[in-house]
Structure 1
Amino acid sequence: MTLSLEEKYALILAKERQMAYGLAKQLIPKPETSVWMIFLPVLFVHHAFNIQRYKKSIHGFADNYTKTRKKALDLALVAMEEGRGVQIDLETCFPSLELGDEKDRKICEKQLGEIRVLFHHYKRLFEVRGKTWQNLVKEAYGEAGKYRAFLNELAKAEKEVTRYVTRTLQTSDAAREVAGKMEKIADHLREEDVRVVF
């Protein structure tokens, strides 16, 4: 027995969220506890506040990270359910985009490349049989080299978006440092996936 499209959708989305949370937890530093919190309760209250802020940051990052992936996944699901191609353009993917803001339009255009790569990947996963995310990937790609080629294509598309953002919107050294760190963590997590699946 194989999974339905909706079950595969849920499985793929859960995996993307797992990746987002894994990335966020390595990227965003967790507040440290101190022995002084036992002796000075006011420090514990401050620490509890920082922990809540940390959790919100993790959730916010993960939600934003998965937005592009969810757009691509939704498009792939529609394509599979309706048995037809879908348009991957600004109007379809970013319907509320105001065309007057050049920077917003450009970043959305860059994100379209990422959405296209993900769309084809998700469609590929929808087309095969499997009961787990690992089964779907193994069946869709057959070997580690082919899956790694997809991951490299995805990383390239993501870097295009990041490069544009760090050149035009977030131009500080700190932003470039965070972007570089995020790319390294994502590469590491993806390599772990390759090892787990193959």
Structure 2
Amino acid sequence: MGTELDRKKELILGHEQDFAKQVAGEIIDKPQLALWMILIPIFFVFYYFQLKRYRNGLQDFSSNFLVTRQRTLDAVVESVAANKPVNLESVIELSSTPTAVQQQYRAWLDQLAAHFLLLLKAEGDSYEELVRSAHGKKSTYLVELKKLNRVEADFNRSLISHIPGEQDTFKTVIRSMQDCVKKIRHRQAADIFP
């Protein structure tokens, strides 16, 4: 694999990792330290354990949020290196996505792969430069982000009924996550195209 392709992959992956951390930071509530907790040692110990669980939760969320994105990026990089069409079948096979939502999952993967492919073919020394090179202007990039948001939201909504547990809770979490993703992506677009 060429070093230029590796460099671009690392730029994209780094961005996706930062993105996952930002989403996790906004979705997962951080425990608050009250002054009285410092004064009563047992409560401070309790706070410390809550904080540790929060940090582990951030890490777990970020890792899980990245799985499909990283697998898709790897598949796209492989295809570019081999000069072949992107094969997303391996990504689908590695997932535990229920059969009933495979179509929505595939639509998300296709859009994500197209996004990554566009960035890998762009020129630039930073993620921001890759985006500016690939999209040219903010409105074009926002259209791309809107497509990504839509197919990911469609997949998440279709997945809800296949997850055991309280459906209303899952709907609330997924809605919150999608709102957060949109907000962060719009903020990033404003930073990339001031």
Do the structures match in fold with TM over 0.5?
yes
Among 93, 96, 100, the alignment partner of 1:95 is 93
CA–CA distance in structure 2, aligned partners of residues 160 and 126 of structure 1: 26
Q: What's the counterpart of residue 106 of structure 1? A: 100
CA–CA distance in structure 1, aligned partners of residues 95 and 137 of structure 2: 39
Q: What's the counterpart of residue 173 of structure 1? A: 168
1:10 aligns with 2:10: yes
Q: What's the counterpart of residue 111 of structure 2? A: 117
| Structure 2 gaps, min length 5 | none
Q: What's the counterpart of residue 128 of structure 1? A: 122
State the Cα distance separating 1:110 from its structure 2 match.
Answer: 2.3
Counterparts in 2 of 1:113 and 1:171: CA distance versus 1, 3 Å? farther
CA–CA distance in structure 1, aligned partners of residues 136 and 56 of structure 2: 38
Counterparts in 2 of 1:84 and 1:96: CA distance versus 1, 3 Å? closer
Among 175, 190, 197, the alignment partner of 2:192 is 197
TM-score of the pair, normalised by structure 1: 0.90
CA–CA distance in structure 1, aligned partners of residues 75 and 136 of structure 2: 24
Counterparts in 2 of 1:28 and 1:93: CA distance versus 1, 3 Å? same
State the Cα distance separating 1:183 from its structure 2 match.
Answer: 0.9
SS in 2 for 1:165: helix
Q: Is the contact between residue 71 and residue 115 of structure 1 (CA under 8 Å) also seen in structure 2? A: no
Q: Is the contact between residue 98 and residue 162 of structure 2 (CA under 8 Å) also seen in structure 1? A: no
Q: Cα RMSD between the aligned structures?
A: 1.7
Q: Is the contact between residue 27 and residue 177 of structure 2 (CA under 8 Å) also seen in structure 1? A: yes
CA–CA distance in structure 2, aligned partners of residues 17 and 157 of structure 1: 20
Q: Is the contact between residue 92 and residue 106 of structure 2 (CA under 8 Å) also seen in structure 1? A: no
Q: Is the contact between residue 13 and residue 70 of structure 1 (CA under 8 Å) also seen in structure 2? A: yes
State the Cα distance separating 1:95 from its structure 2 match.
Answer: 3.0
**How many residues are matched?**
190
State the Cα distance separating 1:109 from its structure 2 match.
Answer: 3.8
TM-score of the pair, normalised by structure 2: 0.91
